[in-house]
Amino acid sequence: QKEVEQDPGPLSVPEGAIVSLNCTYSNSAFQYFMWYRQYSRKGPELLMYTYSSGNKEDGRFTAQVDKSSKYISLFIRDSQPSDSATYLCAMLNYGGSQGNLIFGKGTKLSVKP
Amino acid sequence: NAGVTQTPKFRVLKTGQSMTLLCAQDMNHEYMYWYRQDPGMGLRLIHYSVGEGTTAKGEVPDGYNVSRLKKQNFLLGLESAAPSQTSVYFCASSYPRASGSYEQYFGPGTRLTVT
């Protein structure tokens, strides 16, 4: 079993839809959870960062962590064509493991006008 | 503040040729990483460095070497390129936050084709 599982999609939604992106993981030691956004032919950029369980909101984006289920989500409200990208989840133990993030393989999202 | 930069952006090599990819960061980060990204495989860690003069192997180190002679630079070398090394290479840097987390900042990538 991979440490981090992420549905690769592709996911296609109409503009204005609510998008839900998810990852599951197996290592209960993970404490830090991140979402990166990667536009086509660009490097990943950090979008959201959450420590332990709970929700974090930033504009149209909400990151949610459920440690009991080992499940994390990223919700995008009022999705826009500019949100079309690949979204990668990433996780880390407390203490860092020398900063080596464990990445999911990414979900490709397309928002149609 | 340029963040993380990578040189070159594109390169085509013939099998057996060698090359060096350069990564530079101006954020004074201690930690630096080299990844490759292939369709369906996600990001895979090749080598990383936790400080000047130190390097360590990641998930897929074979066929690559690295050096970190200066804190701001991390070089990735291919001594004898193979078609299996055709990929997009990303460099990243990070530092340990007081919270215990590390947030990696990525460069724009180098697209390498080996024929």
The pLDDT tens digits of the residues spanning B45-99 come to 999 999 999 999 999 999 999 999 999 999 999 999 999 999 999 999 998 777 7
Provide the pairing of β-strand A102-103 with A85-93: antiparallel
- The predicted-structure confidence for B26-57, as pLDDT tens digits, reads as follows 999 999 999 999 988 889 999 999 999 999 99
Confidence at residue B40, expressed as pLDDT on a 0 to 100 scale: 84
Q: How far apart are CA B42 and CA B110, in angstroms?
A: 16
Q: Which of B10, B44, B102, B112 to mutate to test the interface with A (most CBs of A within 10 A)?
A: B102
Give the position of tokens 């001594």. B79
What is the rounded average pLDDT of the residues B108-112? 97
Confidence at residue A1, expressed as pLDDT on a 0 to 100 scale: 61
**Burial (0-12, 13-18, 19+ Cβ within 10 Å), A17:** middle
Give the position of tokens 């995008």. A76
Nearest residue, CB atoms, A101 vs list B56, B100, B104: B104
Which tops the pLDDT comparison, B7 or A54? B7
Whether the CB of B58 is below 8 Å from some CB of chain A: the reply is yes
- Residue A104: list chain B partners with CB under 8 A: 42
Confidence at residue B100, expressed as pLDDT on a 0 to 100 scale: 72
pLDDT in tens, chain A (113 residues): 678 999 888 999 999 999 999 999 998 888 899 999 999 999 999 999 888 888 999 999 999 999 999 999 999 999 999 999 999 999 987 655 667 888 999 999 999 99
- Closest Cα of chain A to B80: distance in Å? 26
Confidence at residue B46, expressed as pLDDT on a 0 to 100 scale: 96
Confidence at residue A8, expressed as pLDDT on a 0 to 100 scale: 80
Q: Which of A37, A101, A102 to mutate to test the interface with B (most CBs of B within 10 A)?
A: A101
If you measure CA to CA, which chain B residue comes closest to A47?
Answer: B103
Contact A87, A61 (CB under 8 A): no
Mapping DSSP onto H, E and C, the string for chain B reads CCCEEEECCEEEECCCCCEEEEEEECCCCCEEEEEEEECCCEEEEEEEEEECCEEEECCCCCCCEEECCCCCEEEEEECCCCHHHCEEEEEEEECECCCCCECCEECCCEEEEEC
Closest CA to B108 of B14, B24, B1: B24
